[in-house]
Structure 1
Amino acid sequence: MNMKKIMSLVAASAFAVFALAGCGGDNGAGKAEAPKVLKVGSSIDFPPFEFQDEGQKEYQGFDMDLIRAIAKEMGRDVEIQNLGFDGLIPALQGKSIDLAISGMTINDERKANVRFSEPYYQSGLTMVVREDETAITRFADLKGKKVAVQIGTTSAAEVKKIDGVEITELNTPADCFMELKARGVDAVVNDRPVNDYFITKNAAKGVKTLEEKLTAEDYGIAINKDNEKLQNDVNAALKKLKENGEYDKIYAKWFGAKK
């Protein structure tokens, strides 16, 4: 074998070794390639689901913790983009994000444009009463009672539909709870997450949330209409988090222990 052939074989062998090394997913520095990034859109203005406290770098909230846990279960990293709520579905349709999580209600109009995960949270209007209250156990018991609601909210509109209720409209949920504790009203009606978060965050004593919901709506994770695989992967990860108790830990952090 002449020298030219020998050199050709050596060069070919070296190239083959280099090519095989590249196929192993090595980035050239002896480290495995990073997981594919999951691009997530959210409107970061809806505490306790998504918000950003002053001085905090990362976005916080129930949705933020949940989507990070889902991505981890899928073996992927997360890149969260702060978008206007009305821009989330167009961003999914344009494929600039992979999914959206933002306290988004699953409804037929949205389902015509995007896929949804299985529901991960059921919202709706709930009622808070004093812990020693026994006469009020459901919304039907509010006739002849005084109820505090936040002015301009859906809770105010819905409670006004109940006959015989004396309504006090106040500026904030905190004002409503203060009025309840001062015995100025018999009950407070608000969105479920608002009630649960306020009680948990403030470690409120002497009050309790009743289980009945005046209205109910499911929140889901929105996904591009064409991406059935991602929908299945998200559902599988969400199912696993509910089975292993991680979902309940995240829920308890923001809303207290599940009833």
Structure 2
Amino acid sequence: MKKLFAVLLVLVMVLSFAACGGGKEAATDDTADIPTYKVAMEPTFPPFDTINEETQELDGFDYDLMNTIAEDQGFKLEWVNMGFDGLIPALQAGNIDIIASGMNASEERREKVDFSTTYYDSGLVLAVKAGNTAIKSIDDLTADMKAGGQIGTTGADLATELYETGKIKEAKIYNGLDVAVMDLLNGTIDVLINDLPVTKAYMDAKPGTIEIVGDVLNAESYGYAVKKGNTELLEKINTGMQNMIDNGTFDEIYAKWFE
């Protein structure tokens, strides 16, 4: 009986190990080889970069565009909310892999990071509180006025330049455009210098509160940024972008946010 029991015990153990081995093989995850990239945006730049009111998650044109590129090219994304001035330093340090945040692919920035094919042409405009008849263009700014812009942007650069040349009294630089718009409405600043489509988005959200004056300034083009030398990731983004243009998906996403 003892021998029979021992034999049965061995058989049970063998079958158990076989079952465990089979289970392990069946549980192999094919998604383990799919790369995941960390992508950052500053979400006070609608309609490119914003927060969904219902889900309170990141949203916008850049969000939809980059997610579709990732799906097309077979990689995953981990989204991060980050201040605009911290985006390039974070990319250079390797803390993030992609910047998707309505960033102007300027020559100065190209010295620090590599940009994808640009996907949107924009320019700066001056915004004033509705009813302000004193400012009709940049030429109407005076030495007793204050101008605002978002930190790290060309709008902030122009505001700073106007201050340094004595054209205005103060350049007030903000971490987020939502606060800048609030200060424009309460009179803390006289004019806000910002990108045209973003200014229009704020106008649409709160009709009759702010107005655009003068001509479009400093034409610029937006692109997605990767760390210098990361040609593999850059090629994926560019290929995905071109595929979207070719199959019409780009136009569908554009219409969702701009029409």
When the two structures are superposed, what TM-score results if normalisation uses the length of structure 1? 0.59
In structure 1, the residue matched to 2:236 is 233
Q: How many residues align?
A: 195
Q: Does 1:33 align with 2:37?
A: no
User: AA paired with 2:110?
Assistant: K
Q: How far apart in 2 are the matches of 1:190 and 1:84?
A: 16
Q: 1:197 to 1:242 in 2, by over 3 A?
A: farther
Aligned to 1:136: none
Partners of 1:27 and 1:85 in 2: CA distance: 45
Q: Which amino acid aligns with 2:80?
A: Q
CA deviations on 1:85-119 (whole Å, 9 max, x unpaired) are: 12211211121211111111111221111100011
Find the aligned partners of 1:198 and 1:246 in 2 and give their Cα distance. Answer: 26
Separation of aligned partners in 2, 1:253 and 1:198: 16
1:247 matches 2:255 = no
Partner of 1:42: 41
What is the CA-CA distance between 1:122 and the residue it aligns to?
Answer: 1.0
Instruction: Determine which structure has the larger helix proportion and give its number.
Output: 2
Question: In the alignment, which residue of structure 2 is the partner of 1:139?
Answer: none
What are the ranges of 5 or more consecutive residues in structure 1 without an aligned counterpart?
1-17, 128-141, 143-150, 161-170, 177-188
Write the mapping of 1:1-259 to structure 2, written as runs, cut at 5 A.
Answer: 28-29=26-27, 31-34=29-32, 35-125=34-124, 152=148, 191-194=195-198, 196-197=200-201, 213-256=216-259
In the alignment, the residues of structure 2 paired with residue 83 and residue 190 of structure 1 have an alpha-carbon distance, to the nearest angstrom, of 19
Checking the alignment, whether the CA contact within 8 Å between 1:27 and 1:33 is kept in structure 2 is: no
Asked if 1 retains the 8 angstrom alpha-carbon contact of 2:122 and 2:219, the reply is: yes
SS in 2 for 1:242: helix
Q: Secondary structure at the match of 1:45?
A: coil
- Contact 2:45-2:198 at 8 Å conserved across structures: no
Q: What CA distance in whole angstroms lies between the structure 1 residues aligned with 2:26 and 2:148?
A: 59
Between the aligned partners of 2:25 and 2:57, the Cα distance in structure 1 is 28
**Residues 190 and 44 of structure 1: CA distance in aligned 2, closer, same or farther (over 3 Å):** closer
- Identical-pair percentage: 39
Aligned to 2:171: none
Q: CA deviation at 1:67?
A: 0.8
Paired with 1:220 and 1:122, the residues of 2 have a C-alpha distance of 10
Residue 191 to residue 83, structure 1, CA distance change in 2 (3 Å): closer
What is the CA RMSD across the aligned residues, in angstroms? Answer: 4.3
Paired residue for 2:172? Answer: none
Instruction: Give the deviation of 1:249 after TM superposition.
Output: 1.0
Check 1:194–1:95 CA distance in 2 against 1; reply closer, same or farther (3 A cut): closer
Could you tell me which runs of 5 or more consecutive residues in structure 2 were left unpaired when the two chains were aligned: 1-20, 127-136, 138-146, 150-154, 163-179, 186-192
- Cα distance in 2 for residues equivalent to 1:74 and 1:199: 36
